[in-house]
Chain A
Amino acid sequence: MKAIVNVFLKAGVLDSQGKAVHHALSSLQFNNVEDVRVGKQIVLQLTETNKEKAMADVTKMCEELLANTVIEDYTIELV
């Protein structure tokens, strides 16, 4: 099973990279973009087969290491 973790700065925390990309898109005349957030994706190949256990484990990984919850939110998708 794979766990796909997406980490983004929390809403309300200024995302300078997102702002720079938004600005660059505007320069390219893509004027229909309202907002850009840049985050990171971490893909974990798990040996765990139980979905609930995997979700609990990956949540713990996010809380302890993969995200800094002072400034970042995360989402987990199991596939």
Chain B
Amino acid sequence: MKVSILQFPGTNCEYDTQYAFEKLGAQTEIIWHKSTTIPADTDLLVVAGGFSYGDYLRSGAIAKFSPVMSAVKEYADKGGKVLGICNGFQVLTEARLLPGALKRNEGLHFISKHHHLKVENNENIFLEKLNTGDVVNIPIAHHDGNYYIDDEGLKELEANGQILLKYTDASGEIKNPNGSVASIAGVCNKEKNIFGLMPHPERAMESLLGSDDGIKMLQGFLAS
């Protein structure tokens, strides 16, 4: 299994992501954003979290024009598996590879804490190691994690099973930390080969750090 991890100026979760996937036995490579190609043997391409280009203008807005992004589009168009975590999710929405947009958190605060998430749908290549209805404990750390999509778009997401994760409490009841539409924490594209989520599963790899629920989630990303 080969995981390629994108690095923009301002990315700061690339090494956590590398640690997490290597812990699961994957081979990893960090790809600088000036690269115009994705390694041919890539099984999973990760757009890591952080603050690409300092979040100037909007989170992810400038990163979408980095040279590597054309290669990302090409890789995704061919059915390649792309995962965006936090700022990576924002980059993928800005690049229109995922529907919707991320707004400033409703409470206007940066939120950094452990939060529970419920698996809404596991009929996809990402969450197949988890069951629909499973609740996992995965940290969030964002200022612009308030997912927005209009009513029509939301209906489409629901009809296609594109909503993969929602923010909940430990019992699976909706608990929305940032005002996101329908408490959405992660969505995939229609073809289900691109997945973006605001929480950081790569930071939940050791029970010592509060949770190792990220292990099962990341194992799913490597599964097929």
Which residues on A are within 8 Å of B, measured CB to CB?
9, 13-14, 16-17, 20, 65-66, 68, 70-71
Contact = CB atoms under 8 A, between A and B. Distances in A.
Interface residues of B, dominant DSSP:
loop
B101 A16 contact: no
A20 B179 CA distance: 14
A30 B94 CA distance: 38
Contacts, number: 34
Nearest to B153: A70
Given A14-B103, A16-B104, A16-B105, 18 more contacts: A13-B103, A13-B148, A14-B106, A14-B179, A16-B108, A17-B104, A17-B108, A20-B108, A65-B61, A66-B57, A68-B58, A68-B61, A68-B101, A70-B100, A70-B101, A70-B148, A71-B103, A71-B148
Which of A9, A16, A70 gathers most chain B CB within 10 Å?
Answer: A70
Contacts of B93: 70
15 contacts: A9-B103, A13-B148, A14-B179, A16-B104, A16-B105, A16-B106, A17-B104, A17-B108, A65-B62, A65-B65, A66-B57, A68-B101, A70-B100, A70-B148, A71-B103
B140 to A, nearest CB: 17
A46 B146 CA distance: 34
B100 A65 contact: no
Contacts of B65: 65
Interface residues of B, number: 19
Nearest to B105: A16
Interface string B61-83: 11001000000000000000000
User: Which one of B93, B104, B105, B149 has the highest number of Cβ atoms from chain A below 10 Å of its Cβ?
Assistant: B104
